[in-house]
Amino acid sequence: MVSDGEASFFKGMLLGSISCVLITLFGQINIPHEGKIQDHEHHHLRAPNREDFLKMSEVQRMELSKSIRVYCIILGESKYESYRAILKDTWTKHCDKAEFYSTKNSRLFNTETNDMWLQMRETYKYVFEKYGYDYNWFFLARPTTFAVIENLKYFLFKKNATQPFYLGHTIKSGDLEYVAMEGGIVLSMESMKRLNRVLNSENCEDQSILWKLSEDRQLAICLKYAGVLAENAEDSEGRHVFNTEPIVHLIKEAMSNNPQQVVKGCCSDMAITFNGLTPRKMEVMMYGVYRLRAFGHHFNDALVFLPPNGSEND
């Protein structure tokens, strides 16, 4: 028997030696303008134009806002059980339906498992069987994520759910471009269908060799095999709308890079997610996003998503 501690020690040793070899190898090779090339390589999707809305009639807009139906999957380990109540009470009210899946969810798992890829796979299978044809978008988030569903729906306006793609905050890792779980993952109805067709194939089995691959990378490998690619979601100025970090981190980072643009430098007005929130911070976000307002100021948004029935203005 090798204990966990020893195993990590050996992994550490191995990683150390491999890095050493790699540094020696690549240290002598010059890679020109690496950053610039990467900027243009990734796939991305932009938010819609305001003009697209203005051309539509009131009736068309109402129909459209009703036709974008989002099912929210909150997926987390059992240590996040304590988030369940606050999530139910805050942003998830704005999903057309939201459910919390954790390893304590006896419908799906007989035993406690720490295998997040297994958990994610089983959850996607279950959701597809039960709801695959009732919603056109499937949004998966961590329990510590805060999402503004109205902004997600706005972003999805004019995107075709019968096309195979998935979106969020993409990261490039070697040849693989994947949507990071921390920022939230959105699957179109078509990608959900394709995912289900391939989930039981060997391409979707655990691909880890030496180190466990994270569940979001495993998902990307599996989806790629099904012809579904990852798209980075950006606002009209190219800023991320799915954020993998809390606002405070993003602002601090932006301030040190560009002190003239405290908020503008980091955060989109149409941001969809932030991550790393405690339950209390979620309440503060609800206040900031839905309740705080300047008296007498009317927003004139072209698309209207009504708040959930019975909630007091949030």
Cα–Cα distance, 239 to 39 (Å, whole number): 12
Would you say 168 and 179 are in contact if contact means Cβ atoms under 8 Å apart?
Answer: yes
CB of 168 to ligand NAG, least distance (A): 21
Ranges of H-type helices in 226-302: 247-257, 279-286
CB of 160 to ligand NAG, least distance (A): 4
Q: Is 162 in the site for ligand NAG (CB under 6 A)?
A: yes
What residue ranges in the chain does DSSP mark as E strands?
Answer: 44-46, 70-76, 97-102, 137-141, 146-147, 165-168, 170-173, 176-179, 185-188, 229-234, 273-274
Coil, strand or helix at 10? helix
Q: Is 8 in the site for ligand NAG (CB under 6 A)?
A: no
Q: Is 309 in the site for ligand NAG (CB under 6 A)?
A: yes
**Choice from 163, 200, 257, 311 touching ligand NAG (CB under 6 A):** 163
Q: Is 261 in the site for ligand NAG (CB under 6 A)?
A: no
3-state helix, strand, coil in the chain (%, to 5): 45, 15, 40
Q: Is 49 in the site for ligand NAG (CB under 6 A)?
A: no
Q: Is 313 in the site for ligand NAG (CB under 6 A)?
A: no
Q: Is 310 in the site for ligand NAG (CB under 6 A)?
A: yes
Q: Given the rule CB under 6 A, which of 114-122, 155-163, 230-238, 287-295 is the region that contacts ligand NAG?
A: 155-163
CB of 154 to ligand NAG, least distance (A): 17
Phi, psi of 109 (to 5 degrees): -125, 130
The 10 Å Cβ neighbour count of residue 289 is 18
Q: Given the rule CB under 6 A, which of 36-44, 156-164, 210-218, 234-242 is the region that contacts ligand NAG?
A: 156-164
Q: Given the rule CB under 6 A, which of 111-119, 138-146, 160-168, 195-203 is the region that contacts ligand NAG?
A: 160-168
Would you say 256 and 115 are in contact if contact means Cβ atoms under 8 Å apart?
Answer: no
Closest CA to 219 of 190, 245, 180, 182: 180
**Choice from 17, 160, 208, 261 touching ligand NAG (CB under 6 A):** 160
- Interface with ligand NAG by CB under 6 A: which residues? 160, 162-163, 309-310
